[in-house]
Structures are given as structure tokens and as C-alpha cells.
């Protein structure tokens, strides 16, 4: 029977004050899991977050020399967890927003083989610490992502999630803003098994750093959704846009034909020109959609190639250094190992 290893990764940026409490409540034992380790991604903190993590006895620390954002921290964490031999990965926040005792609930569907990705559902439509407008915004955003991905997504922006090793290997984050929306779109595009399980949240310890204001959140999330939707559903996007323009073009065209029919044969050439422009542009946009759809097949091939290369690289590193070894993540980050903490979190 093979050992099952879980790594809990926590992206951090200046979380020295909140990190000890977050680490203290993480589960040490989970049924079905033989080994639990903690990995911290220090995203260029200047308040001694890495030192606090080291003093708390975490097993692995990934450090960025400068702040690169949540999406980059999440991706680097997945890569490091894979290199440390994780069979399952749980991502949670450093501000103790999520109830750590719900981690076994996230992991259970992975152990049962009924899901590849499990997301914690905060029931955003009923959260008392969200304003009514923010609740409606979260519900609307989750519906849009669900419609675009083909998944039932009651809480698309939840960062409290668990992945199998295979799902982590197939996760690619291109957005520089956040990973939550893009990874769900990816999972839906490859028809992955995704489940949402209800989770609890703790009282807020600080304002959100990802959503500094509602207008900024709407702007960044809207751009991210549009970019991702266009990337994974190009034919649908461009065909809808092209057909809409063609239909709009028929209105002045029909008007021109009607006026000619009733005897007004002069003075309406503008309608004919407008109709021609809209219809021609509509056809061009539709053709762009066909080309973009063909390119999306090429992207899928590249993703499969990247997955295979990534898998071979990690397997080679494991064979060279042994399961759970530490490896460099590149010039802008480094991994620190603490073998004295391998027995668990030190208090």
C-alpha cells in the first residue's frame, strides 16, 4: 500500500502577524493521509514572514525576491509541492480566513476518487461580512464562470481548494491577477471532476488585498473572465459577435430594400453602406472565430506537451534527489528546507 502525502501550501505577503495563528490550527492528522507537510510561499514579504514561518517549524519555504502576485505564488507553490512528492495539495490563505478543520472535507473526495479538484464553498450569497452589493457581485461572477466553464460553481473565487497530483500537473495559470477563475475554466475545458463542498470561514483579520475596491475588482475580474473565456471558448465568442453584427447589418439593409420597394429610390444609400459594412465585418469576425478555434486545438496540444515535460522533469528530480527533495525554482525564488521539522509543525 503506497503512502499518501498531503502538502498544505499557503501563499503569503507580509503575513508575519497572522501566519502563526493560521499554522497553529492546521490539522496534523487526516484519515487516509499518511504524511502532512506545510509549504509557505513568501511572495517578497518585507516583514519577516519567512522567519516567522521558519520559527513555526514549517517544512518548506519558497521565497520570491520581490512581490510577484497571488497567481505567481500559487503556481510556484504547486510546482514546489509536486517536487516534494505531494499526492494531494491543499491551498489556503495565510490570514486564517478559512476554517482549517474543514481541510479533511476538502481532501475526502480526492481520497474517494470522486473528484480531481475540490473547492470550498463559502456560500457567498449569505456571508454577513460582505455588503449586499458584494454578495450579489460574487453570486453573479460565480454564475458567469459556471456558464463559461460548464461547471456548477457556487463560489468561483474561493481560494480554499484541494487538488490531486494529476490535477496540479495539468494546472497552468497565465493571469497575473488571481488563479481562482482561470483554474476553474481550465478544469471545465478538460472536463475534470470538480466538486464544491460547504466550508466555514473565520472572522476577518484584515481587509482584502486582492479587492481593494469594488470598481477595481469588477474591472480586473471582468478582464480576466473575458480573456479566459475567449481563450477557452473562442468559436462561441467570435461567432456570437459575428452573427450579432450580421443581424444588425440586416436592419438597415432591410430598411433600404423597403424604401426602394415603396418608391423612395434616392437618398438612402447610407443605409446600404452601413448594412454592407456590418455584414462584411460580421463575416470577418466569424472567420476569426474559426481560425481561433483551430488555434485552440494547437494550444491543447501544447498543454499536453507541457504536462508530459513537466511530469518527466519532476520524476527525474525525484529519482535524482529522492522523494521529497528540494529543488531550485528559478532565479527569482528559492526553496529553503528544514529537515528538523519533518515530524510535523513545531510549536
**Residue 238, domain member (yes or no):** yes
**Residue 207, domain member (yes or no):** yes
CA distances from 29 to 36, 105, 157 (A): 7, 13, 27
Are 187 and 40 in the same domain? yes
Are 282 and 198 in the same domain? no
Per-residue model confidence (pLDDT) at position 216:
75
**Residue 347, domain member (yes or no):** no
**Residue 246, domain member (yes or no):** yes
User: How far is it, in rounded angstroms, from Cα 176 to Cα 223?
Assistant: 11
pLDDT of 208 above 70: no
Mean of pLDDT values over 100-122: 95
For 219-272, write each residue's pLDDT tens digit.
777 777 777 777 777 888 889 899 999 999 999 888 888 888 787 767 678 888
154-157 long-range contacts, Cβ below 8 Å, gap at least 24? 154/121, 154/123, 154/124, 154/196, 155/119, 155/120, 155/121, 155/122, 155/123, 155/124, 155/196, 156/180, 156/181, 156/184, 157/124, 157/181
Say if CB 338 and CB 57 are below 8 A apart. Answer: yes
Q: Considering the chain, what percentage of its residues have pLDDT values greater than 70?
A: 88
Domain coverage including residue 272: 234-297
Are 262 and 136 in the same domain? no
Mean of pLDDT values over 211-220: 72
The total number of structural domains in the chain stands at 2
**Cα dihedral value 71, 342, 120, 42, nearest 10:** -20
User: How far is it, in rounded angstroms, from Cα 52 to Cα 56?
Assistant: 6
The contacts of residue 132 (CB under 8 Å, 6+ apart) are none
Mean of pLDDT values over 270-289: 91
Are 225 and 246 in the same domain? no
pLDDT of 20 above 70: yes
User: How far is it, in rounded angstroms, from Cα 76 to Cα 4?
Assistant: 22
Are 128 and 243 in the same domain? no
Q: Name the phi and psi angles at 327, rounded to 5.
A: -140, 155
pLDDT of 211 above 70: no
Per-residue model confidence (pLDDT) at position 30:
94
Are 132 and 222 in the same domain? yes
Among all chains, which residue has been given the C-alpha cell 521565497? Answer: 63
Are 182 and 324 in the same domain? yes
CA distances from 328 to 133, 265, 296 (A): 44, 76, 32
Strands 161-164 and 60-64: unpaired
Whichever domain contains 170, its CATH number is 3.90.550.10
CA distances from 186 to 49, 110, 228, 320 (A): 32, 18, 9, 31
**Residue 256, domain member (yes or no):** yes
Per-residue model confidence (pLDDT) at position 299:
77
* pLDDT mean across residues, the chain: 84
DSSP letters, 90-159, are EE--TT--B-GGGHHHHHHHHHHTS-SEEEEE--GGG-TTS-HHHHHHHHHHHHHHHHHHTS--S-TT--
In degrees, rounded to 5, the angle at the alpha carbon of residue 334 between the alpha carbons of residues 78 and 68 is 65
Say if CB 183 and CB 176 are below 8 A apart. Answer: no
Per-residue model confidence (pLDDT) at position 82:
92
Nearest in space to 114 (alpha carbons), one of 122, 101, 127, 105: 105
Burial group, residue 318, by CB count within 10 angstroms (0-12, 13-18, 19+): middle
Say if CB 160 and CB 106 are below 8 A apart. Answer: yes
Measured from the Cβ of residue 27, the count of other Cβ atoms closer than 10 Å reads 16
Are 83 and 104 in the same domain? yes
CA distances from 210 to 104, 113, 162, 201 (A): 26, 33, 21, 17
Are 200 and 171 in the same domain? yes
Per-residue model confidence (pLDDT) at position 335:
52
Are 161 and 62 in the same domain? yes
Radius of gyration (C-alpha) of the chain in whole angstroms: 25
Mean of pLDDT values over 71-96: 93
Are 243 and 99 in the same domain? no
pLDDT of 168 above 50: yes
Are 53 and 88 in the same domain? yes
**Residue 346, domain member (yes or no):** no
Say if CB 156 and CB 141 are below 8 A apart. Answer: yes
Per-residue model confidence (pLDDT) at position 325:
39
Break the chain down into helix, strand, coil percent, rounded to 5.
Answer: 50, 15, 35
For 285-302, write each residue's pLDDT tens digit.
999 988 888 887 787 788
**Which of 103-107, 166-170, 173-177 is least confident?**
173-177
Amino acid at each position: 500500500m503506497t503512502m499518501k502525502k498531503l502538502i498544505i501550501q499557503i501563499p503569503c505577503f507580509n503575513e508575519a502577524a497572522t501566519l502563526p495563528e493560521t499554522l497553529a490550527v492546521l490539522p496534523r492528522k487526516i484519515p487516509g493521509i499518511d504524511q502532512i507537510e506545510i509549504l509557505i510561499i513568501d511572495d517578497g514579504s518585507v516583514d519577516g514572514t519567512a522567519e516567522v514561518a521558519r520559527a513555526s517549524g514549517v517544512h518548506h519555504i519558497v521565497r520570491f525576491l520581490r512581490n510577484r502576485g497571488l497567481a505567481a505564488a500559487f503556481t510556484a507553490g504547486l510546482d514546489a509541492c509536486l517536487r516534494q512528492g505531494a499526492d494531494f495539495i491543499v491551498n489556503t490563505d495565510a490570514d486564517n480566513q478559512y476554517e482549517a478543520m474543514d481541510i479533511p472535507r476538502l481532501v475526502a473526495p480526492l481520497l474517494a476518487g470522486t473528484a480531481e479538484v475540490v473547492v470550498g464553498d463559502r456560500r457567498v450569497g449569505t456571508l454577513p461580512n460582505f455588503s449586499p452589493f458584494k454578495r450579489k457581485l460574487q453570486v453573479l461572477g460565480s454564475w458567469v464562470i459556471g456558464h463559461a466553464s460548464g461547471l456548477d460553481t457556487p463560489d468561483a473565487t474561493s481560494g480554499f481548494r484541494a487538488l490531486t497530483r494529476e490535477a496540479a500537473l495539468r494546472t497552468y495559470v497565465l493571469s497575473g491577477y488571481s488563479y481562482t477563475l482561470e483554474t476553474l475554466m481550465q478544469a471545465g475545458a478538460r472536463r475534470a471532476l470538480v466538486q464544491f463542498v460547504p466550508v466555514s470561514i473565520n472572522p476577518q483579520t484584515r481587509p482584502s488585498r486582492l479587492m481593494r475596491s469594488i470598481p477595481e475588482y469588477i474591472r480586473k475580474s471582468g478582464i480576466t473572465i473575458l480573456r479566459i473565456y475567449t481563450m477557452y471558448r473562442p468559436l462561441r465568442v467570435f461567432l456570437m459577435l459575428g452573427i450579432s453584427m450580421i443581424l444588425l447589418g440586416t436592419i438597415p439593409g432591410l430598411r433600404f430594400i423597403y424604401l426602394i420597394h415603396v418608391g423612395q429610390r434616392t437618398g438612402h444609400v447610407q443605409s446600404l453602406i452601413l448594412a454592407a459594412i456590418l455584414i462584411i465585418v460580421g463575416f470577418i469576425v466569424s472567420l476569426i472565430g474559426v481560425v481561433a478555434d483551430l488555434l485552440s486545438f494547437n494550444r491543447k496540444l501544447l498543454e499536453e506537451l507541457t504536462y508530459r515535460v513537466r511530469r518527466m522533469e519532476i520524476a527525474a528530480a525525484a529519482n535524482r534527489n529522492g522523494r521529497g527533495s528540494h529543488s531550485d525554482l528559478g532565479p527569482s525564488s528559492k526553496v529553503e528546507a528544514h529537515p528538523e521539522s519533518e515530524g510535523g509543525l513545531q510549536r
